[in-house]
Amino acid sequence: MRINVKECAQILKEQDNILILTHAHPDGDTLGSGFGLCRALLKLGKKARVVCADEIPDKYLCIFKELEMPEFEEDYIVAVDVATENLLGDLCDKYKGKIDLCIDHHRSNSDYAKYLVLDSDAAAACETILEIVKELGVEIDSAIADCLFTGISTDTGCFKFASTTANTYRAAAELVDFGADNGKINRIMFDTKTKTYAAIESLALEGMQFFCDERICVITITQDMYEKTGAKEYETEAISPLTRQIEGVEIGLTIREKANGECKCSIRTFESVDASELAAFFGGGGHKQASACVFNCSVEEAKARLVAKCEEILK
Amino acid sequence: MRINVKECAQILKEQDNILILTHAHPDGDTLGSGFGLCRALLKLGKKARVVCADEIPDKYLCIFKELEMPEFEEDYIVAVDVATENLLGDLCDKYKGKIDLCIDHHRSNSDYAKYLVLDSDAAAACETILEIVKELGVEIDSAIADCLFTGISTDTGCFKFASTTANTYRAAAELVDFGADNGKINRIMFDTKTKTYAAIESLALEGMQFFCDERICVITITQDMYEKTGAKEYETEAISPLTRQIEGVEIGLTIREKANGECKCSIRTFESVDASELAAFFGGGGHKQASACVFNCSVEEAKARLVAKCEEILK
């Protein structure tokens, strides 16, 4: 059942022993939503705790780690920034069908929870969490503000993506007023590279290839490159956007060889090409301008198949 | 004489045939301020024109080029985002001592104009121009909003730098409400690389060196690299921030060999090191975290002298 922010706050006020679930492979928005809401509920004197199927990546630790969360038997289960239950990862089996409330901003939300607050115009779930926290009557402190600012900033590429609305900038202003350390957060999220990432990024850029009058740009990342640089697989998520930054490129492909021999291809496009259709042709999926698919073949073969299909689309 | 936004608007209302000067080597903030103010004055039925000593870089053209500006004998001269008269470049000789009004946000403003509006807390001069345009009673259209948004976004590194305040985010929200195409502007400013830039960036990252337990990071750009890639000298301005992004680095140095045989070094630091002091030691200057100096020697010799001095500072 769809509810609004006011109804959601009313429901939360009536509950206690609240477990908050984030999605697996957590990003800034699901973590910011989870920890921001948790801190607000704790300030109301409730018991609340955030759980995630996967480890929190290092760069988020200084923002989210300091919260001491009580142990309890959960009475109420909330999922934040989780579009479908299977995105809960290893927590899916345990909580599938049991989620009381979902707060999300993905248009594709599968409406799996008893109650759903969904604002698909929001650039980040944290925008909606901010409204809920205000509605709860909690005084927003700098720790809550840092959580929510992190979610908004990371989900908008530091306020860069076209998804960023006037409301997004207004929420950021409000959070800075509440004490969010925007300069520090943005530096950690957007201006800090590990040495191993910098090394593999350099190799990746060196090997960048162009096809079809330079309208297609391809970066390949092999297991050999991970070994050479010491970079971890999850670090190279940040490479995909680089393929689309080159002037004139309409389709950017990043093909990453995985340890199990599969190849994962991230597709980035502009308005002219539907990335989700391209991915679907190879059994994958995603959004219009960002999608992904997986191949059970060598990097070179995956590249040949992808480029051939892209050339067909561009003609 | 220092005046406030209200007084400034009153003075502008009384003037006509207004010439607006931007600084040389123009950036988004001086251009956004100039063209934003010019459009507002034209809407009031006044004659106004923007001039700049140097050509407007290509990436700004789609935002600023479409304005038709009348020719006239100037009666009133305004400088925007210009901290000192010599920053007018080749226009300095002609207008030195003749500037009626300066609108700026640089703490270091030398107070050279008859009237000065200075808000050193503003992250961009465009924040103040927005207030002035509102005070003028002009209805802000999407063209004006695009100009002012561009200035704010570029001067804050897309809302990333610590200089970004709650007011900055609020100004952005207002401008999006007025029709600024934030997604498009940010894509052009922050997500578009020329092929030649991408090529020289790749070479630069490949040759990155570390010193002093990897607390110093050095990138060198030689004339040879410009020839190999076809990149222009002004394009490599964007490389300097990359030296400071690597985890653990406290001083980032970018040494660029110029066509005349000089070497220009851009220095980037964090709080622990004063970049302006380091630059001053070599006859240069700048801000606490970003400064520059020039050497009349080879890249290798400049690097050796800089690294030696940095090691001394870090010990």
Q: What is the pLDDT of residues A157-177, one digit of tens each?
A: 999 998 999 999 999 999 999
ipTM metric: 0.89
B296 to each of A85, A214, A285, B235, B284, how far by Cα in Å?
64, 40, 56, 22, 13
- CA dihedral sign of residues B43, B45, B46, B49: positive
Crossing angle (nearest 10°) for helices B125-135 and B142-155: 150
β-bridge mates for residue A147, sequence order: none
Which residues of chain A lie closer than 8 angstroms to B192, CB-CB?
A: 245, 247
Minimal Cβ distance to B162: which of A183, A202, A245: A183
Could you tell me if A209 lies within 8 Å of chain B, comparing CB atoms?
no
CA A306, CA A278: separation in Å to the nearest integer?
A: 9
Give the one of A161, A167, A198 whose C-beta lies nearest to B183's C-beta. A161
Per-residue pLDDT of chain B (315 residues; tens, 9 = 90+): 999 999 999 999 999 999 999 999 899 999 999 999 999 999 999 999 999 999 998 889 999 877 889 999 999 999 999 999 999 999 999 999 999 999 999 988 999 999 999 999 999 999 999 999 999 999 999 999 999 999 999 999 999 998 999 999 999 999 999 999 999 999 999 988 888 999 999 999 999 999 999 999 999 999 999 999 999 887 888 899 899 899 899 999 999 999 988 999 999 998 789 998 999 999 988 778 888 899 999 999 999 999 999 999 999
Count A/B contacts: CB-CB distance under 8 Å.
Answer: 120
B107-165 confidence digits (pLDDT tens):
889 999 999 999 999 999 999 999 999 999 999 999 999 999 999 999 999 999 989 99
The pLDDT value given to residue B107: 85
Q: Which of B158, B160, B244, B245 to mutate to test the interface with A (most CBs of A within 10 A)?
A: B160
pLDDT at A58: 85
3-class DSSP state of B14: helix
Per-residue pLDDT tens digits for A174-227: 999 999 999 999 999 998 888 899 999 999 999 999 999 999 999 999 999 999
Phi, psi of A252 (to 5 degrees): -110, 125
Q: Does the predicted model carry a pTM greater than 0.95?
A: no
* Per-residue pLDDT band at A107 (split at 50, 70, 90): confident
For B133, the token pair is: 């345009």
pLDDT digits (tens, 9 = 90+) for A11-43: 999 999 999 999 998 999 999 999 999 999 999
- Could you tell me how far CA A236 lies from the centroid of its own chain? 14
Q: Which residues of chain B neighbour A191 with C-beta distances below 8 Å?
A: 160, 241, 244-245
Nearest to B160 among A167, A190, A206 (CB): A190
Q: Average pLDDT over chain B, rounded to whole? A: 94
d(CA B240, CA B307): 16
